[in-house]
Every structure is written in C-alpha cells, then in structure tokens.
Structure 1
Amino acid sequence: MSVIEAPRSQARPARKRGLNLEKWGWIYMRASGVVLLVLIFGHLFVNLLVGEGVKAIDFGFVGGKWADPFWQWWDVAMLWLALIHGANGMRTIVNDYTNPGTAQKVLKGALFLAATVLIVLGTLVVFTFDPCPAGSPADLLPSFCPAV
C-alpha cells in the first residue's frame, strides 16, 4: 500500500534566504517590456510617420538624429533594454531545456558574451558616430555637414 503525502508537506527543502535572482529576472522582463514598448513605438513614430516618412530615412537622417544627445540616449536605452531582455529570455529557455551542467554553463556563457559584445559595440557606434569625418570628399558628405 502506498502513502500519498499531504498536499502542504515539504517536498523540497526550505528555500535559502537571500537575493532571489529568478524573481528579479522575472520583474525585469515585465518592466523592460513596458519600457521597450514606449521606446520602440516612439522610434517607429519618429522614423516612419513624422516628416517625409520612410522615404526620408538615409545616412543623413541617422546622422542628423544622432547629432542630438536625446536621440543617442533613446537609441542606447532601446539597445541595452532589448539585448538584456532578449538574453534573459534565452537564458530562461536554456534553463528550461537543458540539464544543469557543462552544456548549460557553456550556453549561458555564450549568451552573456554575445549580449555583452553587442551592447559594447552598439553603444560605441551610437556615441562615436561622426557623419562628417574630416578629410572626406565634399560630394560624399551629407548636406548638413559644414563645407570644409
């Protein structure tokens, strides 16, 4: 005869006190998702609906937009939130479909490395972008660059 445990019995040992990273990851996904909606729809509105719409998007449009620190920070916030949000989602998938061990550590390490490299490179591109590089032929420069 088998015995069925009481429904409120401790099947697992009591959780340790301290920082619950899974809870904070869950909260981050919800908060970043809401902020990303605002950032993405603001980005789409400005790029596609204001002015001449999609026909106006070219090198000069991006160069002019990134000349303003507000848009630099807007795009960097969108980049950081989207990459961290996506990497955290992928981490959850790795946790769900792999067993703890070497494979899981390698996959999580690859996710962390890829997200870090993309965040660093994307941030550098946004803040070091110069649409008017010195020594460039005048016919190749956007119209808003001062004539040299």
Structure 2
Amino acid sequence: MTIEAVEYPRTPLSERKQSGKNWERIGWSFMRISGVLLIFLVFVHLYSNLVAGDGVSQIGFEFVVAEKFSVPFWLIWDALLLVLALIHGTNGMRTIVNDYVYKPGPRKALITTLWIACIVEIVLGLIVLIVFAVEPCVQGPGSASICS
C-alpha cells in the first residue's frame, strides 16, 4: 500500500505543484462559511418555530404549510437551510472518506455515491417545499382534504 506524500505545509507557493483549482481549499473555506451561516439559520428557525407566537403548541400541518410557507421569505429560508446543511454534511463525509480510504477506486466510488445521494436528497427536499408552497391543501385517501 502506497500513500502519496503530502507537501510540507510551509512550502512557498512558488514551489508548490499547481494543478488548477485547489478543491481542498475551496471545500475548507465552504465548511467554515456554511458552518457560521448554518448556526444563524438554525437558531432563527428554532426561535421562529418554537419560541415566537404560541411556541411548541402551534406546530402542526396547518402552521407549517398554510401560515409559514405562505410567506416566501420562510420558504427561501428553509430551502437555504436544507441545501446548506446537506452540502455541508456531504462535504464533511467526503473529508472523512479522503482521510480513511486509501485505495483510489473505492474512495472515488464512495465520494461519487455521497454526492449523488446529496443531490437526490436536495431535489426531493426542494420538491416537497415547492409542492407545499404551491398547493398547501393535499387530498388524502378517500378524497378527504387534510386542510379542512
């Protein structure tokens, strides 16, 4: 088993290998920026849902779909929270895979699977948000409306 040598961290930029974009640096920066944004997004989300108004007792289908998602601001807020959280988590898992999977084949397969799962979850989550924003009253089994 061979492990690629890692450059000495204090190697001057002029001596480092340049191979286009530095994806590791972009990923590192994204994790820091998205982490700070996620803290803000999550705490405002929790406050608006659990503290403001009637508190926990207000949480229900009618509140989330009819009241909250009728305001485009909260729809965008929750969509941003969903997308950032999934990409942040997937990038963290990618880092773990890079650290512990040494063979290039399995590493590439795992990372590809991670990103495919991330994209599928983002698409499904956004579909749910959009569907409930456009048509909040869904017909249940036996043509009974959930909103009635």
TM class by smaller structure: 0.7 to 0.9
- Please report how far the alpha carbon of residue 58 of structure 1 lies from its aligned counterpart in structure 2 after TM superposition: 0.5
Query: Which residue in 1 is equivalent to 2:49?
Result: 47
- Please report how far the alpha carbon of residue 18 of structure 1 lies from its aligned counterpart in structure 2 after TM superposition: 2.4
Give the gaps of 5 or more residues in structure 1. Answer: 1-6, 143-148
Q: 1:60 to 1:15 in 2, by over 3 A?
A: same
CA distance in 2, matches of 1:17, 1:31: 24
Query: Which residue in 1 is equivalent to 2:75?
Result: 72
CA distance in 2, matches of 1:34, 1:125: 26
Aligned partner of 2:20: which letter? G
Question: Is the radius of gyration larger for structure 1 or structure 2?
Answer: 1
Give the match's secondary structure for 1:106.
helix
Residues matched between the structures, number: 133
What's the CA shift string for 1:13-50, capped at 9, x where partnerless? 83115211100110000000111111000000000000
Query: Which residue in 2 is equivalent to 1:132?
Result: 137
Query: Which residue in 2 is equivalent to 1:3?
Result: none
Structure scoring higher RCO (CA < 8 A, sep ≥ 6) equals 1
- Please report how far the alpha carbon of residue 137 of structure 1 lies from its aligned counterpart in structure 2 after TM superposition: 3.6
Query: Which residue in 1 is equivalent to 2:111?
Result: 108
Output the aligned Cα RMSD. Answer: 2.3
CA distance in 2, matches of 1:23, 1:14: 14
Percent identity between the two aligned chains: 47
Give the match's secondary structure for 1:40.
helix
CA distance in 2, matches of 1:43, 1:91: 27
TM-score by length of 1: 0.81
CA distance in 2, matches of 1:71, 1:126: 10
Give the match's secondary structure for 2:118.
helix
- Please report how far the alpha carbon of residue 82 of structure 1 lies from its aligned counterpart in structure 2 after TM superposition: 0.3
TM-score by length of 2: 0.81
